[in-house]
Protein backbone atom coordinates (compact mmCIF):
# COMPACT_ATOMS: atom_id res chain seq x y z
CA UNK A 1 0.00 0.00 0.00
CA UNK A 2 1.23 3.51 -0.81
CA UNK A 3 -0.10 4.81 2.52
CA UNK A 4 2.67 2.85 4.28
CA UNK A 5 5.20 5.36 2.91
CA UNK A 6 3.58 8.24 4.81
CA UNK A 7 3.54 10.30 1.65
CA UNK A 8 1.82 13.67 1.66
CA UNK A 9 -1.98 13.31 1.54
CA UNK A 10 -2.27 15.25 -1.70
CA UNK A 11 0.03 12.75 -3.39
CA UNK A 12 -1.94 9.80 -1.98
CA UNK A 13 -5.06 11.41 -3.43
CA UNK A 14 -3.44 11.56 -6.90
CA UNK A 15 -2.23 7.97 -6.63
CA UNK A 16 -5.77 6.94 -5.81
CA UNK A 17 -7.17 8.96 -8.71
CA UNK A 18 -4.69 7.47 -11.21
CA UNK A 19 -5.60 4.03 -9.93
CA UNK A 20 -2.23 2.72 -8.70
CA UNK A 21 -3.10 0.14 -6.04
CA UNK A 22 0.22 -1.38 -4.99
CA UNK A 23 3.70 0.03 -5.33
CA UNK A 24 5.83 -1.77 -7.90
CA UNK A 25 9.03 -3.44 -6.54
CA UNK A 26 11.21 -0.50 -7.58
CA UNK A 27 8.82 1.94 -5.90
CA UNK A 28 8.73 -0.18 -2.73
CA UNK A 29 12.52 0.05 -2.42
CA UNK A 30 13.25 3.51 -3.74
CA UNK A 31 10.53 5.63 -2.10
CA UNK A 32 11.51 5.11 1.59
CA UNK A 33 15.24 5.50 0.84
CA UNK A 34 14.67 8.67 -1.17
CA UNK A 35 12.39 10.12 1.52
CA UNK A 36 15.22 9.43 4.00
CA UNK A 37 17.39 11.71 1.84
CA UNK A 38 19.82 9.07 0.56
CA UNK A 39 21.70 9.36 -2.72
CA UNK A 40 20.63 6.40 -4.84
CA UNK A 41 22.03 4.38 -7.70
CA UNK A 42 19.10 2.44 -9.11
CA UNK A 43 18.98 -0.13 -11.86
CA UNK A 44 15.44 -0.40 -13.11
CA UNK A 45 14.10 -1.37 -16.46
CA UNK A 46 11.66 0.73 -18.45
CA UNK A 47 8.13 -0.17 -17.47
CA UNK A 48 9.03 -0.93 -13.85
CA UNK A 49 7.34 2.17 -12.50
CA UNK A 50 10.67 3.99 -12.06
CA UNK A 51 9.26 7.42 -12.93
CA UNK A 52 6.81 7.44 -10.02
CA UNK A 53 9.59 5.90 -7.89
CA UNK A 54 11.62 9.10 -8.21
CA UNK A 55 8.76 11.59 -8.57
CA UNK A 56 6.74 10.62 -5.49
CA UNK A 57 9.47 11.06 -2.82
CA UNK A 58 10.70 14.20 -4.56
CA UNK A 59 7.26 15.82 -4.68
CA UNK A 60 6.77 14.78 -1.06
CA UNK A 61 9.95 16.61 -0.14
CA UNK A 62 8.81 19.75 -1.96
CA UNK A 63 5.46 19.66 -0.20
CA UNK A 64 6.65 19.14 3.36
CA UNK A 65 9.01 22.11 3.13
CA UNK A 66 7.76 25.16 1.30
CA UNK A 67 10.49 27.36 -0.15
CA UNK A 68 8.80 30.09 -2.18
CA UNK A 69 11.91 32.21 -2.52
CA UNK A 70 14.34 29.57 -3.76
CA UNK A 71 15.38 29.00 -7.38
CA UNK A 72 14.86 25.64 -9.13
CA UNK A 73 14.45 22.98 -6.43
CA UNK A 74 14.51 19.84 -8.56
CA UNK A 75 16.25 19.12 -11.84
CA UNK A 76 15.38 15.97 -13.80
CA UNK A 77 17.59 15.07 -16.75
CA UNK A 78 16.43 12.65 -19.45
CA UNK A 79 18.28 11.61 -22.62
CA UNK A 80 15.45 12.21 -25.11
CA UNK A 81 12.65 14.67 -25.69
CA UNK A 82 10.10 11.90 -25.64
CA UNK A 83 11.22 10.62 -22.24
CA UNK A 84 11.31 14.18 -20.87
CA UNK A 85 7.73 14.65 -22.07
CA UNK A 86 6.65 11.39 -20.42
CA UNK A 87 8.19 12.50 -17.14
CA UNK A 88 6.32 15.81 -17.35
CA UNK A 89 3.10 13.90 -17.99
CA UNK A 90 3.70 11.73 -14.90
CA UNK A 91 4.55 14.85 -12.92
CA UNK A 92 1.27 16.50 -13.88
CA UNK A 93 -0.70 13.40 -12.93
CA UNK A 94 1.00 13.04 -9.56
CA UNK A 95 1.03 16.74 -8.66
CA UNK A 96 -2.61 17.30 -9.72
CA UNK A 97 -3.76 18.23 -6.20
CA UNK A 98 -0.75 20.46 -5.44
CA UNK A 99 0.48 23.90 -6.47
CA UNK A 100 3.80 22.50 -7.72
CA UNK A 101 4.90 23.54 -11.21
CA UNK A 102 7.32 21.95 -13.67
CA UNK A 103 8.79 23.23 -16.92
CA UNK A 104 10.02 21.18 -19.85
CA UNK A 105 13.30 22.33 -21.39
CA UNK A 106 14.17 20.19 -24.38
CA UNK A 107 15.19 20.62 -28.00
CA UNK A 108 12.52 21.12 -30.63
CA UNK A 109 10.80 23.92 -28.70
CA UNK A 110 11.17 27.67 -28.84
CA UNK A 111 14.32 28.80 -27.02
CA UNK A 112 13.02 32.22 -25.99
CA UNK A 113 9.81 30.71 -24.66
CA UNK A 114 11.90 28.36 -22.52
CA UNK A 115 13.96 31.30 -21.23
CA UNK A 116 10.70 32.86 -20.08
CA UNK A 117 9.77 29.58 -18.36
CA UNK A 118 12.92 29.80 -16.23
CA UNK A 119 11.87 33.28 -15.15
CA UNK A 120 8.58 31.92 -13.80
CA UNK A 121 10.74 29.93 -11.41
CA UNK A 122 8.95 26.56 -11.39
CA UNK A 123 9.98 24.18 -8.63
CA UNK A 124 10.94 21.45 -11.11
CA UNK A 125 12.84 21.59 -14.41
CA UNK A 126 12.70 18.52 -16.66
CA UNK A 127 15.37 18.82 -19.33
CA UNK A 128 17.40 17.12 -21.99
CA UNK A 129 21.13 17.86 -21.59
CA UNK A 130 21.89 19.51 -24.95
CA UNK A 131 19.27 22.21 -24.68
CA UNK A 132 19.89 22.83 -20.98
CA UNK A 133 23.59 23.44 -21.64
CA UNK A 134 22.60 26.06 -24.24
CA UNK A 135 20.58 27.86 -21.56
CA UNK A 136 23.44 27.51 -19.08
CA UNK A 137 25.80 29.14 -21.59
CA UNK A 138 23.47 32.16 -21.52
CA UNK A 139 23.44 32.18 -17.73
CA UNK A 140 19.68 31.61 -17.43
CA UNK A 141 19.21 28.69 -15.02
CA UNK A 142 19.87 29.05 -11.32
CA UNK A 143 20.64 25.74 -9.66
CA UNK A 144 22.27 27.17 -6.53
CA UNK A 145 19.31 26.16 -4.37
CA UNK A 146 18.87 22.79 -6.04
CA UNK A 147 17.64 20.17 -3.57
CA UNK A 148 17.35 17.11 -5.79
CA UNK A 149 19.08 16.13 -9.04
CA UNK A 150 17.57 13.14 -10.85
CA UNK A 151 19.25 11.54 -13.84
CA UNK A 152 17.01 9.11 -15.70
CA UNK A 153 18.34 6.49 -18.13
CA UNK A 154 21.92 7.48 -17.35
CA UNK A 155 23.26 4.63 -19.49
CA UNK A 156 21.44 6.02 -22.54
CA UNK A 157 22.73 9.44 -21.68
CA UNK A 158 26.31 8.13 -21.87
CA UNK A 159 25.61 6.17 -25.06
CA UNK A 160 24.30 9.33 -26.68
CA UNK A 161 27.50 11.20 -25.86
CA UNK A 162 26.10 13.48 -23.17
CA UNK A 163 28.76 12.89 -20.52
CA UNK A 164 30.42 16.29 -21.10
CA UNK A 165 27.06 18.06 -21.01
CA UNK A 166 26.18 16.24 -17.81
CA UNK A 167 29.44 17.42 -16.24
CA UNK A 168 28.68 21.03 -17.28
CA UNK A 169 25.21 20.80 -15.76
CA UNK A 170 26.33 19.17 -12.52
CA UNK A 171 28.98 21.91 -12.09
CA UNK A 172 26.12 24.39 -11.85
CA UNK A 173 24.27 22.42 -9.19
CA UNK A 174 24.24 22.98 -5.47
CA UNK A 175 26.70 20.49 -3.90
CA UNK A 176 24.40 19.88 -0.93
CA UNK A 177 21.71 18.32 -3.13
CA UNK A 178 20.37 14.78 -3.08
CA UNK A 179 21.13 12.85 -6.28
CA UNK A 180 19.13 9.94 -7.69
CA UNK A 181 20.71 8.12 -10.62
CA UNK A 182 18.60 5.68 -12.64
CA UNK A 183 20.01 3.37 -15.26
CA UNK A 184 18.64 0.32 -17.06
CA UNK A 185 21.88 -1.46 -16.27
CA UNK A 186 24.58 -0.80 -13.71
CA UNK A 187 26.96 -2.94 -15.73
CA UNK A 188 27.34 -0.15 -18.31
CA UNK A 189 30.97 0.90 -18.64
CA UNK A 190 30.63 4.54 -17.67
CA UNK A 191 27.97 4.27 -14.95
CA UNK A 192 30.23 3.50 -12.00
CA UNK A 193 32.42 6.45 -13.04
CA UNK A 194 29.63 9.01 -13.04
CA UNK A 195 28.11 7.45 -9.93
CA UNK A 196 31.35 7.97 -8.00
CA UNK A 197 31.54 11.58 -9.23
CA UNK A 198 27.92 12.56 -8.63
CA UNK A 199 26.73 10.53 -5.66
CA UNK A 200 27.62 10.82 -1.98
CA UNK A 201 27.57 7.54 -0.02
CA UNK A 202 24.98 6.12 -2.39
CA UNK A 203 22.71 3.20 -1.64
CA UNK A 204 22.54 0.83 -4.58
CA UNK A 205 19.13 -0.53 -5.54
CA UNK A 206 19.40 -3.30 -8.05
CA UNK A 207 16.09 -4.98 -8.72
CA UNK A 208 16.45 -6.40 -12.14
CA UNK A 209 19.08 -5.52 -14.63
CA UNK A 210 18.26 -4.59 -18.20
CA UNK A 211 19.21 -8.17 -18.89
CA UNK A 212 16.03 -9.40 -17.28
CA UNK A 213 13.04 -8.63 -19.44
CA UNK A 214 9.62 -8.93 -17.84
CA UNK A 215 8.53 -12.45 -17.18
CA UNK A 216 5.10 -11.54 -18.54
CA UNK A 217 6.41 -11.10 -22.10
CA UNK A 218 6.45 -14.09 -24.44
CA UNK A 219 9.42 -13.86 -26.75
CA UNK A 220 9.33 -15.57 -30.12
CA UNK A 221 11.33 -15.65 -33.31
CA UNK A 222 10.13 -16.46 -36.82
CA UNK A 223 12.70 -17.28 -39.50
CA UNK A 224 12.50 -15.31 -42.74
CA UNK A 225 14.15 -15.72 -46.13
CA UNK A 226 14.44 -12.08 -47.11
CA UNK A 227 12.82 -8.67 -46.75
CA UNK A 228 9.86 -9.57 -48.95
CA UNK A 229 9.22 -12.68 -46.86
CA UNK A 230 9.40 -10.55 -43.70
CA UNK A 231 6.81 -8.22 -45.15
CA UNK A 232 4.41 -11.12 -45.71
CA UNK A 233 5.01 -12.34 -42.17
CA UNK A 234 4.45 -8.85 -40.79
CA UNK A 235 1.19 -8.41 -42.69
CA UNK A 236 0.02 -11.85 -41.49
CA UNK A 237 0.91 -11.15 -37.84
CA UNK A 238 -0.77 -7.75 -37.85
CA UNK A 239 -3.88 -9.29 -39.36
CA UNK A 240 -4.06 -12.44 -37.19
CA UNK A 241 -2.61 -11.61 -33.76
CA UNK A 242 -4.92 -10.22 -31.11
CA UNK A 243 -3.66 -6.89 -29.85
CA UNK A 244 -4.80 -3.50 -28.75
CA UNK A 245 -1.70 -1.67 -29.98
CA UNK A 246 1.35 -2.95 -31.84
CA UNK A 247 4.83 -1.49 -32.13
CA UNK A 248 6.96 -2.49 -35.10
CA UNK A 249 10.69 -1.77 -34.87
CA UNK A 250 12.90 -1.10 -37.81
CA UNK A 251 16.61 -0.29 -37.74
CA UNK A 252 16.49 2.57 -40.21
CA UNK A 253 14.32 5.56 -40.86
CA UNK A 254 14.00 4.64 -44.54
CA UNK A 255 12.78 1.15 -43.68
CA UNK A 256 10.32 2.56 -41.11
CA UNK A 257 8.85 4.89 -43.74
CA UNK A 258 8.64 2.07 -46.26
CA UNK A 259 6.89 -0.24 -43.78
CA UNK A 260 4.44 2.52 -42.92
CA UNK A 261 3.39 2.67 -46.57
CA UNK A 262 3.32 -1.12 -46.81
CA UNK A 263 1.05 -1.56 -43.79
CA UNK A 264 -1.28 1.19 -44.91
CA UNK A 265 -1.42 -0.49 -48.30
CA UNK A 266 -2.69 -3.56 -46.44
CA UNK A 267 -5.52 -1.40 -45.13
CA UNK A 268 -4.26 -1.20 -41.55
CA UNK A 269 -3.94 2.05 -39.65
CA UNK A 270 -0.25 2.70 -39.08
CA UNK A 271 1.90 5.69 -38.20
CA UNK A 272 5.66 6.13 -38.32
CA UNK A 273 7.91 7.66 -35.64
CA UNK A 274 11.59 8.38 -36.25
CA UNK A 275 14.29 10.62 -34.86
CA UNK A 276 14.28 13.15 -37.68
CA UNK A 277 10.67 14.19 -37.31
CA UNK A 278 10.14 17.60 -35.77
CA UNK A 279 8.63 17.72 -32.30
CA UNK A 280 5.22 18.86 -33.50
CA UNK A 281 4.94 15.93 -35.87
CA UNK A 282 6.17 13.47 -33.21
CA UNK A 283 3.60 14.76 -30.76
CA UNK A 284 0.88 14.44 -33.36
CA UNK A 285 1.85 10.84 -34.14
CA UNK A 286 2.12 9.90 -30.46
CA UNK A 287 -1.27 11.42 -29.81
CA UNK A 288 -2.84 9.39 -32.64
CA UNK A 289 -1.28 6.22 -31.23
CA UNK A 290 -2.17 6.96 -27.60
CA UNK A 291 -5.78 7.70 -28.45
CA UNK A 292 -5.97 4.58 -30.58
CA UNK A 293 -6.70 6.41 -33.85
CA UNK A 294 -3.87 4.32 -35.22
CA UNK A 295 -3.09 1.05 -33.48
CA UNK A 296 0.20 0.25 -35.23
CA UNK A 297 3.30 2.36 -34.76
CA UNK A 298 6.49 1.76 -36.72
CA UNK A 299 9.47 3.19 -34.91
CA UNK A 300 13.24 3.35 -34.85
CA UNK A 301 15.00 2.80 -31.52
CA UNK A 302 15.82 6.41 -30.75
CA UNK A 303 12.32 7.55 -31.56
CA UNK A 304 10.79 4.95 -29.28
CA UNK A 305 13.00 5.63 -26.29
CA UNK A 306 10.98 6.61 -23.27
CA UNK A 307 7.76 5.88 -25.07
CA UNK A 308 5.10 5.05 -22.54
CA UNK A 309 1.82 4.07 -24.11
CA UNK A 310 -0.83 2.05 -22.35
CA UNK A 311 -2.11 -1.02 -24.11
CA UNK A 312 0.91 -1.99 -26.25
CA UNK A 313 0.65 -5.75 -26.20
CA UNK A 314 2.54 -6.69 -29.34
CA UNK A 315 6.09 -5.75 -30.35
CA UNK A 316 7.47 -6.93 -33.69
CA UNK A 317 11.14 -6.59 -34.52
CA UNK A 318 11.07 -6.38 -38.29
CA UNK A 319 14.85 -6.27 -37.96
CA UNK A 320 16.61 -7.63 -34.89
CA UNK A 321 17.79 -5.02 -32.42
CA UNK A 322 21.49 -4.28 -32.73
CA UNK A 323 22.28 -5.22 -29.12
CA UNK A 324 20.81 -7.08 -26.18
CA UNK A 325 20.15 -3.84 -24.30
CA UNK A 326 18.37 -2.33 -27.32
CA UNK A 327 16.33 -5.52 -27.57
CA UNK A 328 15.27 -5.23 -23.92
CA UNK A 329 14.35 -1.58 -24.40
CA UNK A 330 12.24 -2.47 -27.40
CA UNK A 331 10.31 -5.29 -25.81
CA UNK A 332 9.99 -3.33 -22.56
CA UNK A 333 7.31 -1.33 -24.38
CA UNK A 334 4.97 -4.25 -23.92
CA UNK A 335 3.93 -6.19 -20.82
CA UNK A 336 4.13 -3.01 -18.77
CA UNK A 337 2.97 -2.87 -15.18
CA UNK A 338 1.56 -6.36 -15.08
CA UNK A 339 0.09 -6.61 -18.60
CA UNK A 340 0.75 -9.64 -20.75
CA UNK A 341 2.86 -8.93 -23.83
CA UNK A 342 4.16 -10.69 -26.93
CA UNK A 343 7.44 -9.87 -28.67
CA UNK A 344 8.19 -11.42 -32.07
CA UNK A 345 11.50 -11.00 -33.93
CA UNK A 346 11.75 -11.77 -37.63
CA UNK A 347 15.15 -13.34 -38.19
CA UNK A 348 16.84 -13.76 -41.56
CA UNK A 349 20.06 -15.65 -42.11
CA UNK A 350 22.44 -12.67 -41.61
CA UNK A 351 20.70 -11.94 -38.31
CA UNK A 352 21.00 -15.44 -36.85
CA UNK A 353 24.24 -14.90 -34.94
CA UNK A 354 23.05 -11.57 -33.56
CA UNK A 355 19.87 -13.28 -32.35
CA UNK A 356 21.90 -16.11 -30.80
CA UNK A 357 24.20 -13.67 -29.01
CA UNK A 358 21.19 -11.78 -27.62
CA UNK A 359 19.75 -15.08 -26.36
CA UNK A 360 23.05 -15.83 -24.67
CA UNK A 361 23.39 -12.34 -23.23
CA UNK A 362 19.87 -12.39 -21.80
CA UNK A 363 20.07 -16.07 -20.82
CA UNK A 364 16.77 -16.77 -22.54
CA UNK A 365 15.70 -19.11 -25.31
CA UNK A 366 13.32 -17.46 -27.73
CA UNK A 367 10.41 -19.67 -28.68
CA UNK A 368 10.77 -20.80 -32.32
CA UNK A 369 7.56 -20.20 -34.17
CA UNK A 370 6.53 -20.74 -37.76
CA UNK A 371 3.43 -19.76 -39.66
CA UNK A 372 2.38 -22.74 -41.73
CA UNK A 373 1.14 -20.88 -44.79
CA UNK A 374 4.26 -18.71 -44.81
CA UNK A 375 7.10 -21.09 -44.03
CA UNK A 376 10.18 -20.17 -45.98
CA UNK A 377 13.27 -21.98 -47.17
CA UNK A 378 15.53 -20.73 -44.39
CA UNK A 379 15.50 -23.13 -41.45
CA UNK A 380 18.41 -21.72 -39.48
CA UNK A 381 22.08 -22.73 -39.68
CA UNK A 382 22.77 -26.38 -40.51
CA UNK A 383 25.26 -26.68 -37.68
CA UNK A 384 25.39 -24.72 -34.49
CA UNK A 385 28.31 -23.92 -32.23
CA UNK A 386 27.82 -24.36 -28.48
CA UNK A 387 27.20 -20.62 -28.33
CA UNK A 388 24.16 -21.11 -30.54
CA UNK A 389 25.82 -19.24 -33.40
CA UNK A 390 26.19 -20.71 -36.86
CA UNK A 391 29.15 -23.06 -37.15
CA UNK A 392 31.55 -22.45 -39.99
CA UNK A 393 31.44 -18.72 -40.35
CA UNK A 394 34.77 -18.27 -38.55
CA UNK A 395 36.40 -20.92 -40.71
CA UNK A 396 35.30 -19.14 -43.87
CA UNK A 397 36.75 -15.95 -42.48
CA UNK A 398 40.09 -17.66 -41.79
CA UNK A 399 40.19 -19.06 -45.31
CA UNK A 400 39.47 -15.59 -46.64
CA UNK A 401 42.21 -14.13 -44.46
CA UNK A 402 44.70 -16.76 -45.59
CA UNK A 403 43.76 -16.13 -49.23
CA UNK A 404 44.27 -12.41 -48.77
CA UNK A 405 47.67 -13.05 -47.16
CA UNK A 406 48.69 -15.23 -50.06
CA UNK A 407 47.65 -12.46 -52.42
CA UNK A 408 44.84 -14.46 -54.02
CA UNK A 409 41.97 -12.09 -54.22
CA UNK A 410 38.60 -13.78 -53.90
CA UNK A 411 35.84 -12.54 -56.10
CA UNK A 412 33.26 -10.80 -53.91
CA UNK A 413 30.11 -12.84 -53.55
CA UNK A 414 27.12 -11.63 -55.48
CA UNK A 415 24.68 -9.84 -53.19
CA UNK A 416 21.78 -12.08 -52.44
CA UNK A 417 18.32 -10.93 -51.48
CA UNK A 418 19.24 -11.65 -47.89
CA UNK A 419 21.98 -9.05 -47.97
CA UNK A 420 20.04 -6.05 -48.98
CA UNK A 421 21.54 -2.89 -47.52
CA UNK A 422 18.70 -2.23 -45.10
CA UNK A 423 19.06 -5.56 -43.34
CA UNK A 424 20.97 -5.70 -40.11
CA UNK A 425 23.71 -8.26 -40.39
CA UNK A 426 25.54 -9.08 -37.20
CA UNK A 427 28.96 -8.26 -38.53
CA UNK A 428 27.97 -5.37 -40.75
CA UNK A 429 29.27 -1.94 -39.88
CA UNK A 430 26.95 0.91 -40.47
CA UNK A 431 28.32 3.69 -42.62
CA UNK A 432 28.78 6.92 -40.68
CA UNK A 433 25.99 8.56 -42.63
CA UNK A 434 23.47 6.07 -41.24
CA UNK A 435 23.51 7.89 -37.94
CA UNK A 436 21.86 10.85 -39.57
CA UNK A 437 19.64 8.74 -41.79
CA UNK A 438 18.02 6.50 -39.21
CA UNK A 439 17.98 8.76 -36.20
CA UNK A 440 20.42 6.60 -34.23
CA UNK A 441 22.87 8.30 -31.95
CA UNK A 442 26.48 7.66 -32.87
CA UNK A 443 28.00 5.80 -29.96
CA UNK A 444 30.22 7.87 -27.72
CA UNK A 445 30.14 10.81 -30.08
CA UNK A 446 28.69 14.13 -29.00
CA UNK A 447 25.39 14.75 -30.72
CA UNK A 448 24.26 17.90 -32.33
CA UNK A 449 22.22 19.38 -29.48
CA UNK A 450 19.23 19.87 -31.75
CA UNK A 451 19.10 16.23 -32.71
CA UNK A 452 16.96 14.08 -30.43
CA UNK A 453 17.25 16.32 -27.47
P1 LIG B 1 7.74 3.68 -15.99
O2 LIG B 1 8.62 2.50 -15.69
O3 LIG B 1 7.92 4.79 -15.03
O4 LIG B 1 7.89 4.10 -17.43
O5 LIG B 1 6.21 3.21 -15.78
C6 LIG B 1 5.59 2.26 -16.58
C7 LIG B 1 4.08 2.29 -16.49
O8 LIG B 1 3.64 1.74 -15.25
C9 LIG B 1 3.46 3.66 -16.57
O10 LIG B 1 2.39 3.59 -17.49
C11 LIG B 1 2.93 3.95 -15.20
O12 LIG B 1 1.77 4.76 -15.26
C13 LIG B 1 2.62 2.57 -14.69
N14 LIG B 1 2.77 2.45 -13.22
C15 LIG B 1 3.71 3.02 -12.45
N16 LIG B 1 3.54 2.70 -11.16
C17 LIG B 1 2.46 1.89 -11.11
C18 LIG B 1 1.77 1.21 -10.03
N19 LIG B 1 2.20 1.28 -8.78
N20 LIG B 1 0.69 0.47 -10.35
C21 LIG B 1 0.26 0.37 -11.65
N22 LIG B 1 0.87 0.99 -12.70
C23 LIG B 1 1.95 1.72 -12.43
Predicted confidence (pLDDT) per residue in 105-134, tens digit: 998 889 999 999 999 999 999 999 999 999
- Is 233 found in the same domain as 155? no
Confidence of residue 390 (pLDDT cuts 50, 70, 90): confident
Cα-to-centroid distance, 47 and ligand 1 (Å): 6
CA distance linking residue 275 with residue 272, whole number of Å: 10
Indicate if ligand 1 lies below 6 Å from the C-beta of 47.
yes
19 CA distance to ligand 1 middle (Å): 10
Whether residues 49 and 171 fall in one domain: yes
Same domain, 233 and 138: no
161 C-alpha to ligand 1 centroid (Å): 28
In the chain, % of residues over pLDDT 90: 53
**On the CB side of 10, how many CA atoms lie within 13 Å of its CA?**
15
Average pLDDT of 165-185? Answer: 93
Judged against a pLDDT cut of 70, whether residue 263 lies above it is answered with yes
Best residue for ligand 1 mutational test, from 19, 51, 208 (most atoms within 8 Å of Cβ): 51
Q: Would you state the pLDDT for residue 336?
A: 59
- Let me know: does 55 contact 91? Beta carbons within 8 Å: yes
CATH number for 69: 3.40.50.300
Mean pLDDT of 231-242: 94
Around Cβ 185, how many Cβ atoms within 10 Å?
20
Strands 124-127 and 102-105: parallel
Query: How many Cα atoms occupy the beta-carbon half-sphere of 367 within 13 Å?
Result: 9
Q: In angstroms, what is the span from residue 401 Cα to ligand 1's centroid? A: 52
Residue 394 lies in a domain: no
Neighbours of 188 (CB within 10 A): 20
Q: Give the per-residue pLDDT at 419.
A: 36
Domain count within the chain: 2
Q: Is residue 447 part of a domain?
A: no
Do 70 and 158 sit in the same domain of this protein? yes
Q: What is the mean pLDDT of the chain?
A: 83
C-alpha 400/C-alpha 403 separation (Å) is 5
Give the model's pLDDT for residue 445.
41
Least confident segment among 135-149, 166-180, 285-299, 434-448? 434-448
- The answer to whether position 212 is within a domain reads no
Q: Is 48's C-beta closer than 6 angstroms to any atom of ligand 1?
A: yes
450 domain-assigned: no
Do 179 and 221 share a structural domain?
no
How far, in Å, are 56, 183, 445 from residue 186 at the CA level? 23, 6, 21
Q: What is the pLDDT of residue 389?
A: 86
Band of pLDDT at residue 312, cut at 50, 70 and 90? confident
Q: Is the CB of 20 under 6 A from ligand 1?
A: yes
Gap from CA of 213 to ligand 1 centroid (Å) = 16
Q: How many CB atoms lie within 10 A of CB 291?
A: 8
Highest averaged pLDDT of the listed ranges 91-100, 178-187, 296-305: 91-100
Q: Say yes or no: 235 and 346 in one domain.
A: yes
Asked if 247 and 282 sit in the same domain, the reply is yes
The domain containing residue 282 runs over which residues?
217-389
pLDDT of residue 275: 75
Contact 124, 74 (CB under 8 A): yes
- 258 against 434, higher pLDDT: 258
User: Is residue 445 a part of any domain in this protein?
Assistant: no
Picking from 206, 232, 257, the residue at the C-terminal end of a domain is 206
Amino acid sequence: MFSAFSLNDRLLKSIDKIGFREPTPVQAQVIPLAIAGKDLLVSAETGSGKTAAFLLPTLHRLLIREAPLSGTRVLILAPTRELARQILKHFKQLSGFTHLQAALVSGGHDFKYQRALFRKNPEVIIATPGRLVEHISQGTPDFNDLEVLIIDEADRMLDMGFSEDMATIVNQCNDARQTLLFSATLGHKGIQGIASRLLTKPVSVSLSSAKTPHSDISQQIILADHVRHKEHLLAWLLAHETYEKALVFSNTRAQADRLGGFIRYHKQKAAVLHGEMDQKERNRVMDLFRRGHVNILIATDVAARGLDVQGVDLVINFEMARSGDDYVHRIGRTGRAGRQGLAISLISSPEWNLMASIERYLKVKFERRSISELTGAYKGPKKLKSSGKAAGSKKKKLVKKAAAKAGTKKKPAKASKDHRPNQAGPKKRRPATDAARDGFAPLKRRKNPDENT
